[in-house]
Amino acid sequence: MRLDLDRIPAGQSDLPTAGEYVLEFDPDGPDKVAVTGCLVVDNLESRCVVRGELAAVSTVACGRCLQDYELRFEVPLELVVLRDANQETDDADTLVIHQRRGEVDLTEAVREAVVLALPLARTCRDECKGLCVHCGANLNDGECSCEDDDVDPRWDGLPDVSDPAE
């Protein structure tokens, strides 16, 4: 995605965005994420402020049941392109790019925003039951045939305290 500083009109304008970004940072995470949306560009005298929220979609494996599903999440983005190299910005959360003229490549800035917005806990749905710890059956498809043995054999030598009469 590119922002042409020489051709962007003064004032506020829209910057439509669509593309696929390769993340390559997490072996359990998505490799590619499709991003779409429209950013707002405020072209001021000494800077361009680009901000907005993009929609991202990717196919990932559920962290509980390991089934692939379509992950949808929002990517907030705010960055400033400063035309004056001596000028500083006081907001530590905003990405700052120094460039006076020409095209600014925003690909890496958008990719970083996608990585930061990617949910850490990725589950196919809130009610996902996951896999059986004994046989590995997907519990969303139904109960498995494993015996429900919640008693740890290491506790067998202790008296049963559930009966207060003893």
Residue 103 pLDDT: 81
Task: Give 4 or 119, the one with higher predicted confidence.
Answer: 119
Place of tokens 């990725």: 122
The three-class DSSP label of residue 153 is helix
Residue 85's φ and ψ, nearest 5 degrees, are -65, -25
- Which pLDDT score, from 0 to 100, does residue 146 have? 83
128: which residues sit within 8 A by CB, 6+ positions away? 62, 64, 65, 140
- What per-residue confidence (pLDDT) applies to 8? 81
pLDDT single digits (tens) 86-108: 655 555 566 677 666 778 888 88
Please write the tens of the pLDDT for every residue from 6-54. 788 888 989 899 999 988 777 777 889 999 999 999 988 778 889 999 9
C-alpha torsion 84→85→87→88, nearest 10: 140
Q: Residue 99: its pLDDT value, please?
A: 60
| 52, 128, 138, 143, 148 from 132: Cα distances, Å | 42, 12, 7, 9, 11
Q: Please name the helix (run of DSSP H) or strand (run of DSSP E) that holds residue 108, with its range, or none.
A: helix 107-117
Over the stretch 107-163, which tens digit does the pLDDT of each residue have? 888 999 999 999 988 999 999 999 988 888 899 998 888 876 666 778 777 776 665
Asked if 8 contacts 41 with a C-beta cutoff of 8 angstroms, the reply is yes
**Residue 150 pLDDT:** 66
User: What pTM was computed for the model?
Assistant: 0.75
The pLDDT value given to residue 58: 94
Cβ–Cβ < 8 Å for 85, 98: yes
75 versus 43: the higher-pLDDT residue is 75
Q: The tokens of 95 are what? A: 């990405």
The residue-averaged pLDDT of 42-70 equals 91
pLDDT at 43: 86
What backbone torsions phi and psi does residue 161 show, to the nearest 5 degrees? -95, 5
